[in-house]
Homo-oligomer: A and B are copies of this chain.
Amino acid sequence: MPTDQPQPAFVLVRPQMGENIGAAARAMWNFGLDRMRLVAPRDGWPNEKASAMASGAGRLLDEAQLCDAFPDSVADCTYVLATTARPRGLTKPVLSPERAMRIAAEKIAAGEKVAVIFGPERAGLENEEIARANAIISVPVNPGFASLNLAQCVLLVAYEWMRQTGEVVHEEIATGRTGWAVAAEIDALADHYEETLDRAGFFFPETKADSMKVNLRNLWSRMALTQADVRMLHGILRQMVRWKQRGD
């Protein structure tokens, strides 16, 4: 069963290798997309190599909408985006993947149907296919080396769809099963070290002792310690004292 998440259809036009169809399905499903359409796959359909490659994303292949001719594959869509390296002399908006998926998300939210079309592995889309699209998506690659394969192109567009519509957490700190230490715990740690190191004769010469103590206290505060870290640092010091006392 397809997800009920509104989303663009990804249309593979005359794909050649079954493996690439399977890899494209995986790339889509990595970012939650599951509406694939296929126009005249070269080696027929269904395709064993596609299924073998798709593994966990095989459902997308089973549910893929198969069309004989390209116009049928986008007949129900109000906005069609063609992925192609070069605009090839047609007057047409050329969008970055980011901008294209932002527009697609807005149109889909407004109830429109959007398709993204991908050409066959070697030749790419025909000019007459591109002419039926509303805009072109061009991935901004190294002009001296543009070698994205079909599944990679699908991956990058699907990634941008997720970026534009998903709730991406840009930065968080995983702390495992422990919480951050509070200031009182950091103070107690600093006191423990200061007192023990004082007895050990660490703060020497005496003229520098005060600034050494400030620097050490500053280090603990700067470190963003968890409660587990604080326990470990106490333990280290206690063990050093025990070792000294054992005298071996």
Contact = CB atoms under 8 A, between A and B. Distances in A.
Contacts of A172: 93-94
22 contacts: A27-B152, A29-B145, A30-B141, A30-B145, A30-B146, A56-B145, A56-B147, A87-B174, A87-B176, A89-B174, A90-B174, A91-B174, A91-B229, A93-B174, A94-B172, A94-B174, A95-B171, A96-B169, A136-B174, A140-B169, A156-B156, A156-B159
Interface of A: 26-27, 29-32, 55-57, 87, 89-96, 98-99, 136, 139-142, 145-148, 152, 155-156, 159, 162-163, 166, 168-178, 226, 228-229
State the main secondary structure of chain A at its contact with B. Answer: mixed
Contacts of A148: 30
B30 A177 contact: no
A8 to B, nearest CB: 16
